[in-house]
Amino acid sequence: MKNPVKRVAWVSAIAMAFGLAVAPMATASGVGNTVNGCTAQWFSTAFSLNCRDVSSAGYYQSKGNCSAQVDRNGRVAYLNKGTTRNGVSSEQCRFSVTSASAHYLGS
């Protein structure tokens, strides 16, 4: 088989026949607390804040609990009152995230 597309399709078909997952789907793993309109959310290895109509201007930060490594903090982000933005203060863990939290650090 010289055609790489056919080769990938053939290998995928074999893997599926044996019940092996070829590519896992990325899905949200959980939702944490909400502070002033910013909600913490985590996926398999990433976490961030999704903010909607922020009620208090100031500095916000996400914190993720990582498995098999030291917990991580996202970058501090300044948000104006009324801001709506996803992916604020995002960060990643090397292996997986077990939970995430939102923090308001003041103005």
Q: Tell me, yes or no, whether 7 lies in a domain.
A: no
Q: Tell me, yes or no, whether 6 lies in a domain.
A: no
Residue 13: the pLDDT is 54
Q: Tell me, yes or no, whether 12 lies in a domain.
A: no
Residue 29: the pLDDT is 86
Q: Tell me, yes or no, whether 5 lies in a domain.
A: no
Domain that holds residue 31: 27-106
Q: Tell me, yes or no, whether 65 lies in a domain.
A: yes
Residue ranges, the chain, pLDDT below 70: 1-28
Q: Tell me, yes or no, whether 85 lies in a domain.
A: yes
Residue 26: the pLDDT is 43
Q: Does the predicted TM-score (pTM) go above 0.85? A: no
Q: State what percent of residues in the chain have pLDDT above 90.
A: 73
Handedness of CA 21, 24, 25, 31 (dihedral sign): positive
Structural domains counted in the chain = 1
Q: Tell me, yes or no, whether 43 lies in a domain.
A: yes
Residue 96: the pLDDT is 94
Please provide the DSSP assignment of 70-104 as one string. --EEPPPEEE-TT--EEEEEEEE-SSEEEEEEEEE
